[in-house]
Amino acid sequence: MSVAATSSIPIIDVDSHFTEPADLWTSRAPSRFDDGVPRLIDDPENEGGQC
């Protein structure tokens, strides 16, 4: 297919990235799960991370 033939075909980008809020789990999970929920940590020696 040539470029001219495909120029009328709409292109929809579905490879978008979504970043959850840092407190997604810690602010919403019941307190009994405090020790087990994923959390973001600020680690000055790295670029941050999930724990």
What is the structure's pLDDT at 50?
56
What is the structure's pLDDT at 36?
92
What is the structure's pLDDT at 47?
64
What is the structure's pLDDT at 51?
56
Domain ranges within the chain, ordered by starting residue: 14-51
What is the structure's pLDDT at 2?
65
- Chain segment 1-51, per-residue pLDDT in tens: 566 666 778 887 777 777 788 888 899 999 999 899 988 877 777 765 555
Q: What is the 3-state secondary structure (H, E, C) of the chain?
A: CCHHHHCCCCCCCCCCCCCCCCCCCCCCCCHHHCCCCCCEECCCCCCCEEC
